[in-house]
Structure 1
């Protein structure tokens, strides 16, 4: 039975919506509610594990189960990245705060070091995946081991994408709009490369999966950050609520479409040879 969705335009729209919501929701818990990166990461990682168990136990593809795991990896990836890269220095805090929530404030590795570590982990996952002999084709992943490797790569990919998005928005000088435009340009290049038979579509999928995360991260920051910093200052709570409604609407649409695809057409007239 198929466990994962077809990779279509609708897939990528939902992916960007989920990762943007992951950015705003992660910031809502860690920063707005001041739970801190450490405590929020622990809570969101637990949510990820719960949603993953539901997905793994499902006998077939269910859009609500699948996209809930994508959302949980996006939220957890946001705070994991922040915890790795940030600390309690003034540039990461606001309003004269000296701390953010309970527990360690962050490792302070910085975006380049954090990204290098995450890239190494992601490559290690792909190496294990390759040595296992299991397929990289998303539509053909149906085993528990295959799904476990897939979701491990997804979690690390979303965390890596967060680091890249924060670097583009905060440290590169491009700002939120500039970072989003750069990532969008890179995605357009990937679309062009899809037309070239010599380039692996599986490789392009994973590059696109990583790149859509910083696009969501910069879009989320653009929605929530103050106007003085180049954002719209809509707030993490309001932005998260709107994005959640959009994502659930898309999930409901995907569920209906999946049901239509699974229902055999009853109006097709039989042929002279009889129906198969």
Structure 2
């Protein structure tokens, strides 16, 4: 005989149950990393266009991108399912804000590149630590609740900022930079990504750890590629217009988002 549900404990609807388990971040595939590198390169050229080409400065640029970041994350959290264009717009929001924050700390505050790297690395570790203490995991597969989404996006922001600072530190010749240049800097981070990929395929190292390492390393790779495009010839760049470079990257990224298949990540606790 079919038993009626307990009236004092209503059965949750299928809709509410689904909202607790549906992920709004994409599965991590090769296409994900292609779009990520394009987004980080766009963040470098776009951030430099606002702060340098438009002469708005790092403080105003940071405030502009901070408002954009908050609005995009709020829209992402409010969304009921995975929207590729919204997700990647939010990623661009983190990478442009990360660019201006890193430049402000390194140049306007006067921390220099090593000081900026140390500060942002500390903030990233704190963000990961608070997230892990609260939820027991920092896996991208756990992004299924609004609170966790905010943890995720704040950690993404700090990882993007750290990547910018790392790229400037290796490539720059001033403010304590190591002076490797943009091409060599991109090569170093590219090799780092190859090593992470090798660990992913041929080791048992935590997938969550490898994800965050790769996420950090793709940012300085994009930063050095962006600087290679728009910095003056005297500084080792190609002296392209920041606006045109940003528009080309935006178009390329939009095509990638449209044509590269993407699906929501399967919920879980291990990356």
CA deviation string 1:121-162 (max 9, x = no partner): 111111111111343331332011111111010000001100
One of 164, 167, 178 as aligned partner of 1:165: 167
Check conservation: 1:134, 1:146, Cα contact below 8 A: no
One of 200, 204, 207 as aligned partner of 1:194: 200
Aligned partner of 2:25 in structure 1 is: 4
Q: Is residue 2:46 matched to residue 1:22?
A: no
C-alpha separation in 1, matches of 2:227 and 2:50: 15
TM-score (norm. length: structure 2): 0.85
C-alpha separation in 2, matches of 1:130 and 1:178: 35
Aligned partner of 1:96 in structure 2 is: none
The answer to which of 234-243 and 124-133 deviates more is 124-133
TM-score (norm. length: structure 1): 0.83
Structure 2 residue matching 1:194: 3-state secondary structure? helix
Check conservation: 2:159, 2:216, Cα contact below 8 A: yes
Gaps of 5+ in 1: 87-105, 260-276
Q: Is residue 2:42 matched to residue 1:36?
A: no
TM-superposed CA distance for 1:258, in Å, is 4.5
Gaps of 5+ in 2: 1-21, 264-271
Aligned partner of 1:146 in structure 2 is: 148
CA deviation string 1:166-214 (max 9, x = no partner): 1111121210000000011111111111134431111011011011000
- Give the aligned CA root-mean-square deviation in angstroms: 1.5
- Structure 1's 50 and 127: CA in aligned 2 closer, same or farther, altered over 3 A? same
One of 127, 139, 161 as aligned partner of 1:137: 139
The answer to which of 72-81 and 196-205 deviates more is 196-205
C-alpha separation in 1, matches of 2:169 and 2:116: 10
Larger RCO: 1 or 2 (CA < 8 Å, sep 6+): 2
One of 249, 252, 268 as aligned partner of 1:246: 252
Matches of residues 179-258 of structure 1 in structure 2 within 5 Å? 179-254=185-260, 257-258=261-262
C-alpha separation in 2, matches of 1:230 and 1:111: 18
Q: Is residue 2:81 matched to residue 1:60?
A: yes
C-alpha separation in 1, matches of 2:142 and 2:168: 33
- Runs (4 or more) in structure 1 with deviation over 2 Å come to 133-137, 195-198
Check conservation: 1:183, 1:214, Cα contact below 8 A: yes
